[in-house]
Amino acid sequence: MPRSTASARLAKYGSMRDFSRTAEPSGAHAATRPGRIFVVQEHAASHLHYDFRLELDGVLLSWAVPKGPSLSPTVRRLAARVEDHPLDYANFEGVIPQGQYGAGTVLVWDRGTWQPEDDPHAALAKGRLTFTLHGQKLHGRWHLVRTRSARGAENWLLSKGRDAAANTRIDITAARPESVMSGRTIDEIAAGPHRVFRGECSS
Ligand code: MN
């Protein structure tokens, strides 16, 4: 998909942020890379949540998951669809300053690639997306199912598929709290140094 389309998709993201105040990427330098990336970012904002992002059409489709992912196939986690983010947001870890949108600490909790089981555009339109994650903490089959939309907000449910990577005993967010990018905990990132840590991926 052309860059211009990705830029149009990021208009809402850009309108919500002041890039002279926050170190979050502006999306002006859209990266291209093989395969589709996924990232889960723990975000200690006014309410702690995990941002679940899937690359499609040059942007990161994004859902805010208050309780984070569960490896148990019987657990469905609320995932509120939020604005598309630029691809290089997948490398963002650090502190969003007070007064800025989403002020708080961001930790790259998991990252890797994803594969949709069927045509992802049709699946998203239908509200039933089944996919495989190849991450460091999350693996195997997952589902995102849309439940309802109200006033432009879309609620989806994130759940683990039944496969060898499912696990009903481990609380994965508690068992593996560390950043896959820096090894730091959310408190270590919040404590500073207050600079953005950028990993090996850059555009
Ligand atoms: Mn967030």
- This prediction has a pTM of 0.87
Instruction: Say if residue 133 is exposed, middle or buried (CB neighbours under 10 Å; 0-12, 13-18, 19+).
Output: buried
Q: Are 51 and 61 in contact (CB under 8 A)?
A: no
pLDDT of residue 195: 54
Mark 13-48 as b/e (b = at least 16 C-beta within 10 Å): beeebeeeebbbbebeebbeeeebbbbbbbbbeeee
Centre of ligand 1 to C-alpha 64, Å, is 6
Centre of ligand 1 to C-alpha 125, Å, is 23
Centre of ligand 1 to C-alpha 57, Å, is 21
d(CA 59, CA 88): 9
Centre of ligand 1 to C-alpha 16, Å, is 12
Q: Are 172 and 71 in contact (CB under 8 A)?
A: yes
3-class SS string, 59-72 = EEEEEEECCCCCCC
d(CA 105, CA 188): 10
Q: What is the distance of C-alpha 66 from the center of its chain?
A: 12
pLDDT of residue 202: 41
C-alpha closest to that of 109 among 35, 24, 176, 170? 176
How far, CA to CA in Å, does 20 sit from each of 13, 24, 100, 193? Answer: 15, 10, 10, 19
Centre of ligand 1 to C-alpha 72, Å, is 23
Centre of ligand 1 to C-alpha 109, Å, is 13
Centre of ligand 1 to C-alpha 49, Å, is 7
Residues paired with 179 in a beta bridge: none
Centre of ligand 1 to C-alpha 104, Å, is 9
Q: Measured in Å, how far apart are the chain's first and last C-alpha atoms?
A: 18
Centre of ligand 1 to C-alpha 106, Å, is 8
User: Rg of the chain over CA atoms, in angstroms?
Assistant: 16
Centre of ligand 1 to C-alpha 43, Å, is 5
From first to last of its 203 residues, what are the pLDDT tens digits of the chain?
444 578 888 999 999 999 989 989 888 765 555 569 999 999 999 999 999 999 999 999 999 999 999 999 999 999 999 999 999 999 999 999 999 999 999 999 999 999 999 999 999 999 999 999 999 999 999 999 999 777 778 999 999 999 999 999 999 999 999 999 999 999 999 998 755 555 554 43
The DSSP output letter for 90 is: G
